[in-house]
Structure 1
């Protein structure tokens, strides 16, 4: 977002966000020998090495119900997310974030996948990894802004982007993050790795309600900023504590504290944002029967 970082009011809640993204474009998928950073001057320089970062469909963006179009969109279907996923997993500090690699081609095991929402019919997408975004202070951290609120976020790498918010509470710890939080000290230094041997139930990292979501066409939020992403942002929240969040702020990027690893807001321009509210009366029965999400127009004309 040109002109500097968006201001955040003191009463904004911090949350953790989950998203799924194309596994062919991992977070550190940058040109060999090049480097990017999240400072304001650093982000302004992204376009020099990655011209796509100046495109018209960039992410993240501000999202609000008042600017969204309500439609009876398909639900997210999750296979294997309610099962305990067996280790080992690899946790790595890559200097931009901390990444937990879920899929291991050398180990034959069932990989969770999703289908539904606005994915192509009969397509299913396997989970690749998850990574995190967080702020140095308790008023920032997320990339997308939902209803004017910035949040801390945790992110799943998959074959499209889906975000779920995690409500930030001072006293309430999220016991479902206990498989990960104690291991952060093992990857405090940049390029360090740790092997995790805890089982994971992925559904516990998502909110209970995944039926209500916002969706729009956008991009990766790190270089090379490819505009190949259909974002899906959940509205519900789950808890994380200040104590847990502070463990992330002990990590190093090789120059200092690893934090504020989020991209500034980009212009929405003429893009449409859709919202799925399954309990709302959106249209008549005949219109719902005739509704075809493949015919959605993603831009205002």
Structure 2
């Protein structure tokens, strides 16, 4: 009975908290990013996000492959909320089907469990993403927020060493619609105003909303990009963007908050200071492993499974490895 009640109440609590917090900050005027530090001390910290990633200055490092569990599990519910500063998406799963991940730059052996994902976008295709690559902005960015299972809940993980990780995916524009975002984009019309929520009629697994190359990424120590700007966040910026159509992206730009269009909801880049940005360089075994032999982890068989890894591809450029092909399960 209690578990059933939790499954009903928890999305409502998250929605209420998100809408309440959204009243405290904005992206312009007296509540804009330049004033966040007045009310939220952490927003003036030394390890803030987003940043500009200068590709020539990154350091290459070989990380252990990520191990993904339940990213292919179909949720019972996918809940979308316009909280006044983004589209916040939560998912309900059976207890043993929660998506989680470990490995890579997360460093600890513990898993990080999915909490929510949300988006940032611009008024046109020249702005929108928060992190920049060589001062280049993408038109939108997806953030998947996950919490270390060393901590019992999201609030407990804030400001804790390696308490949170954000997996970030850039968006790029293509001519055709992305089928994984077809229904999602259409449903945004149902949450056109702040405080409105809707469920996807046909819930999709988390993996369907993500990119396909999960080995090519940059990583650094940063913060949440909205107040309270908690630091100690492990950022993983995947280098291969997700492609969607201009039509699909336009649905985000039609959303409103406080009687104005919800757009340009991105924080300006923050000083890198003494931080180092790393780029994953797969080991030789990962680089040449046949993609068809790489298993995706199912939690029911987790004890006997191998970590998910992907094939790298060698590309021209500055003599570096660019990481390409992935297993075709997204």
TM range, smaller chain: 0.7 to 0.9
Give the aligned length.
Answer: 253
- Corresponding residue of 2:132: 145
Structure 2 unaligned regions, length at least 5: 1-13, 148-164, 286-330
CA shift for structure 1 position 150: 0.4
Match of 1:204 in 2: 208
Aligned counterpart, 1:72: 62
- Quote the Cα distance in structure 1 between the aligned partners of 2:205 and 2:78: 13
Residues 29, 196 of structure 1: CA spacing in aligned structure 2 closer, same or farther, 3 A cutoff? closer
Rounded Cα–Cα distance in structure 1 between residues aligned with 2:263 and 2:117: 17
1:130 maps to 2:130: no
Shift of the alpha carbon at 1:93? 0.5
Residue in 2 that maps onto 1:118: 105
Kindly indicate whether structure 1 or structure 2 has the higher relative contact order, using CA contacts under 8 Å at least 6 residues apart: 1
Q: Does 1:192 align with 2:196?
A: yes
Q: Does structure 1 residue 162 correspond to structure 2 residue 149?
A: no
Q: What TM-score, normalized by structure 1, do the two folds share?
A: 0.77
Task: Indicate how the Cα distance of structure 1 residues 93 and 54 shifts in structure 2: closer, same or farther if over 3 A, else same.
Answer: same
C-alpha displacement at 1:108, in angstroms? 4.7
CA deviation profile, 1:122-167 (whole Å, cap 9, x unmatched):
3112212111111011210000001331011122221211212232
Please, which moves more after superposition, 73-82 or 58-67?
Answer: 73-82
Partner Cα distance (1:161, 1:139) in 2: 23
Preserved CA contact (<8 Å) 1:90 1:196: yes
CA displacement 1:31-89 (0-9 Å, x = unmatched): 87961111265211111111111111110000122110101112222111133x13322
Contact 2:19 2:83 in 1 (8 A): no
How far apart, in 1, do the equivalents of 2:247 and 2:22 lie? 36
| Aligned counterpart for 1:231 among listed residues 228, 235, 241 | 235
Structure 1 unaligned segments of length 5 or more: list them.
Answer: 1-24, 282-301
The match for 2:265 is 261
Q: Does the Cα contact within 8 Å between 2:219 and 2:235 map onto a contact in 1? A: yes
The TM-score with structure 2 as length reference comes to 0.71
Output the CA distance in 2 between the equivalents of 1:97 and 1:224: 16
2:5 corresponds to: none
Instruction: Decide whether the 8 Å contact of 2:82 with 2:195 is kept in 1.
Output: yes
Matching residue within 172, 178, 182 for 2:186: 182
d(CA) in 2 for partners of 1:153 and 1:181? 15
Tell me the residue number matched to 1:81.
Answer: 71
Q: Distance in 1 between matches of 2:283 and 2:28?
A: 41
Q: Which runs of 4+ in 1 moved over 3 A?
A: 25-34
Q: Judge which range, 182-191 or 198-207, deviates more.
A: 198-207
Higher helix content, 1 or 2: 2
Aligned to 1:245: 249
CA distance in 2, matches of 1:219, 1:29: 18
Structure 1 pair 31/188, CA: closer, same or farther in 2 (3 Å)? Answer: closer
1:99 aligns with 2:88: yes
Are 1:87 and 1:198, in contact at CA under 8 Å, matched by a contact in 2? Answer: no
Partners of 2:208 and 2:218 in 1: how far apart? 21
